[in-house]
Amino acid sequence: MAEHEDTTAHDDNATTTTTGDTAQRPRRVWRKSLPKWSLWVSLAVLAWFAFAAFGPKFGLIGWQTGLIFMIREAGIILIAIAAIFALIALAFAFFKSPRGPWWKAALALAIPALLFLGLLMLRAQAAAVPPIHDVSTDLRNPPTFSAQTMALRAELEANPINDYGTPLGELPMWAESDDAALKAKNHADIVSEEYPDLTPIIIGGATQDQAVDAVVAAMGEIGLQDVHRVEGANTVEGVAETFAFGFKDDVVARVENGQIDLRSVSRVGVSDLGYNAERVKELREAIIDRLER
C-alpha cells in the first residue's frame, strides 16, 4: 500500500515538473525568434529606403515625399528603431537561453548601420560642394536653352535659370540662407572658385560641323537622353537623369567662335551635390577625346 502511494506521489511530481517545463517553454521561445524578427524589421526599413529612392524615378511618389519625408524625416527614426531592435536581439542571442541564430541579428544590425553611414556620406558630400545647381564653362555668357526646353521647365515648375552676375542673396532660393559670405557671391564667383578646371573647349582644326557632331556623339556616350541639335541655332541639348530619385538635369552645348561651351542645370533642388560639375567634366573630356581622334 505504501509502495503504491510512493509511486503515485512520484507520478504527481513528474507531472508537475513536466507541466512547469511546458509552461516555461512558450515564455522562452520568443527569445529564439528575436534575431529572425529583427532581420525582418531591418529588411522592411531597407525596402522603405529603396522605395523612397526609386519611387520618384518611376512616378510612384513625388521626390519631396521620397527625399524629405521618407528619408530625411521618417528614415532616421526607422533606422534607430531597427538598430535598437537588432542590438536587443543580438544581446539575447549571445547571453540568454535558448539562443537564436546570432548571424541574423548581426545582419539586422548591419543594415541600419550601412543606411546611416550612407546618409552621413551624403551629408558630407553636400557640405563639400557649393549649394548651387547651375554650372557652365562660360561665366560671362553661359549657353542658353532653347524655347522648347524653357517651356518644358516652366511647365514642370523647374528651377529658374538664374543670371550668373546676380549675387545669390538677391535670388529667392538663397535669400533665407544664414551664410552671408555665400549670399555675397554670384554664380560666376562660385564656379570659378570651386571648379577652376571647367573651361571652354578649343575646337582647333575641326570645323563647326565636326565639333557639333563630336558633341552629339559625346552626349550619347555619357548617357544623356533626348540628345538633339537645336534647329536654327549652334547648340545641342540633352537630358541627364540620376540613378536614384530620377532627378533630371538639362544640358546644353554651344559651338561658337572656335570653342565649345557647356552648361548643366538641375530642374529641382537647391544643391546638386556636385553632379552638374562632374557631368560637365565628363562631357568635356568625351568631346575632347572625339575631337582628337
Structural domains of the chain ordered from first start: 2-128 (no CATH), 134-291 (3.30.310)
Q: Tell me: the pLDDT tens digits for 138-149? A: 999 999 999 999
Contacts of 2 (CB under 8 A, 6+ apart): none
The percent helix, strand, coil of the chain (3-state, each to 5) is 55, 10, 30
At 229, is the pLDDT very low, low, confident or very high (cuts 50, 70, 90)?
A: very high
Q: What is the predicted pLDDT for the residue at 31?
A: 72
- Note every long-range contact of 125-130, with CB atoms under 8 Å and residues 24 or more positions apart, other chains counting: 125/273, 125/274, 126/271, 126/273, 128/274, 129/194, 129/271, 129/272, 129/273, 129/274, 129/277, 130/182, 130/190, 130/194, 130/271
Whether a cis peptide bond, with omega within 30° of 0, leads into 131 is no
Task: Give the three-state DSSP class for 227.
Answer: strand
| pLDDT over 70, % of the chain | 88
| pLDDT over 90, % of the chain | 83
Q: What is the predicted pLDDT for the residue at 173?
A: 95
Q: Tell me: the pLDDT tens digits for 6-60? A: 544 444 454 444 444 444 455 566 778 899 999 999 999 999 999 999 999 999 9
Q: Tell me: the pLDDT tens digits for 68-94? A: 999 999 999 999 999 999 999 999 888
Q: Give the separation between CA 93 and CA 99, rounded to whole angstroms.
A: 5
Alpha helices in 142-274 (DSSP H): 147-155, 180-183, 187-194, 208-221
- Least trusted range by pLDDT, from 61-65, 97-101, 113-117: 97-101
Average pLDDT score over the chain: 91
Give the residue-averaged pLDDT of 261-268.
Answer: 98
